[in-house]
Chain A
């Protein structure tokens, strides 16, 4: 390798990666692409916080839910009575075909319904009204235990008495609606505060929300912070902190809040509009719409686009929920679903398929290439032949066929998109390993008696990583375009889950140009950014290029 003048003037203290980073830092487009990608991934990960039909926080009385729960008390008691009227064997015979519910299960499920109903009621009832309900639930639990213990007669008698109690509770806790009719008698409910949006987040989502910050910060530190003068210590355990923290947050979430669906009220917006839900205050996300939520504005052009909504478009009746000031920034599709919201959620599918499929193909490709390159001989022959065969297939045909026949789930798509594209990386790895295995450090590692996996993964792989990194970056872009093409042809994830390619497909009528333009533009931008990043890394790692 020839040295350029600049390198002679600088002290040769910096290592290879330091130099690579320095070069990358100078590429403005690389920075730009990285920021855009971070933004896209952030949007995808934080999608539920940006666009959702559930509010962040809500202090409200849910009259609809309360009334349903109040009636449920008596209905569930009746149900219990019904089950207890039969002997276990009678019950087993009378089951609907296909049911695997045992006698005890039937009893406990009625009990559970009751517990849920009472929990809902307690949220809105003043404290002093709680004891009768608690007592009632305890009595029911005792009855159920008796019933499960084969003391059916006693249980039945107890439940018969409880029926009267349930009836009494039902009348006693009728809700008063001072907002509608000041004269109604009944219990005055108090508003309950809940955080429905946060309650609906899953542990996995929380994991990625935390991890995203670590990734962004570490990328930022790598490329934009001043390099320190000190010699950087090897960070072998650098991944532990981010991954550990994210996992911990996910786990804590899973154990505390994650499974809490009791505060779920499915239709917050329609509830508020129709008066079933009376809110003291309510905070919705910036875009108060879910990704599958329909509206009456079918095929509405973008709100900034000056085009009068024709009468024909007004007529649609796909959903009758009131979105009084609904302004679709990117327009809506044929079911009146907001394209912006769907694009935000679609990013999750599209971006994750690109990444995961690349991870899969990298693992397969590196393994196959490393084995072929290191061992040579028969192994090499076999793997090279396999590569030759796989290369012959137009990848897209193969992927299409398998996805269609195996099933259009997200997991299948990720695996299949990864599975048939490993040949590029395998060839690169093979070439690199062929070169490396003759070098002194590998011979030395062998002479030291290190195990083969250790030599391959710890000693050779890090020295072969540059071309692989570049290839992997490009392959994320390729995976993303393959996934979007799949979805565009209608073989992607199934409706109503959005993915960018599938969104383009939702109307091919040229009059609805916004549907074809915007999601496609997002795909284009993401692919472009990945290509920019890959290009920049390749140039930065190329030892022959001056500068």
Chain B
């Protein structure tokens, strides 16, 4: 856990060092820099000094991770004036935005988490809710029309690129064709005038398509894995024993099969969650939702190095937590696994 954490910070830091030039160059001299580049040398030098870009790598890394602040106003141990001795990742300090210096990135991320996490969790829940019964039913009726049809549909959904799914849902349900659902944003323009219940349903209506988009990929992946895992288990000897005992097919699959195939499927949670967070960049930019994904997109568009680095580290942390939860859940489901 701890080595992985350190690894994450090192990797993020290292990857960003690969970038030619430094963040200052990127921001001031990028081809499509949003700044106008006249009379900028002074700002450039100041930016470099404030962010330690003119100092050795280990100092930059330490400053980035914390808990010491190594800048001019930082901790006295590192030659600072001691005005602001602490900072860095360990204290949850991800820096500030460049174009809106009053905004700290962590606050912004936490604020936007309230959109992304419910979205992802909804999608995850729906994926499991749909995939488990589908997988079980397919295996119980193996080779039936239902099994084949479900297999084909799942396979098609599995191959749909997420952004295209989002666009097609927009086209179909948006005003162009069916006109059933709102396709942009989190709430209507005049949502404030609605009653509490009205506001609730309004937000819900806005969330249907994004959640559906996120669900498509996760659901297809899960139900394929579910079916394959269950089929693997069904071929085991103890299933034959169970059948020989004269148990009903329902009991065989649900009690003997499902319980033994559930573990691997639940661990997929740790695979799907990062994919969902990564996918939030697409979904949130297509549906224009104020979540982490659209924040990352904003950072990329503005070439804001610290926003990009912050969102990446942050999402890696979320993934790490998910992996941890999965490991614990796995131990809980399968008592044979013990953690010292």
Contacts and interface: CB of A to CB of B under 8 A. Distances in A.
Interface in B300-325: 300-301, 303, 305, 308-309, 311-312, 315-316, 319-320, 323
Contacts of A527: 159-161
A406 to B, nearest CB: 6
Interface in B262-297: 274-275, 277-279, 281-282, 285, 296-297
Given A397-B311, A404-B303, A523-B164, A513 B176 contact: yes
B192 interface: no
Contact of A390 (B11, B281, B309): B11
Nearest to B279: A396
A385 interface: yes
Nearest to B9: A389
A484 B296 CA distance: 18
B153 interface: no
A281 interface: no
Interface stretch (B82-90, B104-112, B166-174): B166-174
Interface stretch (B12-20, B63-71, B194-202): B12-20
Contact of B26 (A402, A405, A520): A405
Given A405-B26, A516-B167, A394 B275 contact: yes
A392 B15 contact: no
Contacts of A394: 274-275, 277-278, 312, 315-316, 319
Most chain B CB atoms below 10 A, which of A392, A407, A516, A523? A392
Interface residues of A, number: 45
Given A405-B26, A511-B176, A389 B11 contact: yes
Given A385-B3, A528-B159, A396 B15 contact: no
B155 A504 contact: no
A223 to B, nearest CB: 21
Contacts of A490: 301
A404 B167 contact: no
Interface residues of B, number: 51
Nearest to A515: B167
B156 A405 contact: no
A337 to B, nearest CB: 20
B7 A401 contact: no
A544 to B, nearest CB: 7
Interface string A241-279: 000000000000000000000000000000000000000
Interface in A65-93: none
Interface in A471-495: 477, 481, 484-485, 488-491
A531 B159 contact: yes
Nearest to B305: A405
Contacts of A444: none
A489 B285 contact: yes
Contacts of B278: 394-397
Interface string B1-45: 001100110010001101110000010000000000000000000
A439 B136 CA distance: 37
Nearest to A530: B159
Interface in A507-545: 508, 510-511, 513, 516-517, 520, 523-524, 527-528, 531-532, 535, 544
A397 B315 contact: yes
B18 A393 contact: no
B300 A404 contact: yes
B235 interface: yes
A520 B167 CA distance: 9
A524 B159 contact: yes
B8 A401 contact: no
B312 A481 contact: no
A299 to B, nearest CB: 14
Given A393-B312, A489-B282, A402 B15 contact: yes
A154 interface: no
Given A393-B315, A400-B300, A524-B161, 7 more contacts: A385-B3, A401-B308, A477-B159, A489-B282, A490-B301, A501-B161, A510-B170
18 contacts: A385-B7, A388-B7, A391-B274, A392-B8, A393-B316, A393-B319, A394-B315, A405-B19, A407-B20, A477-B159, A485-B163, A488-B163, A488-B282, A489-B300, A501-B163, A510-B175, A510-B176, A516-B171
Shortest 4 CB-CB contacts between residues of A and residues of B:
A396-B278, A389-B7, A394-B278, A520-B164
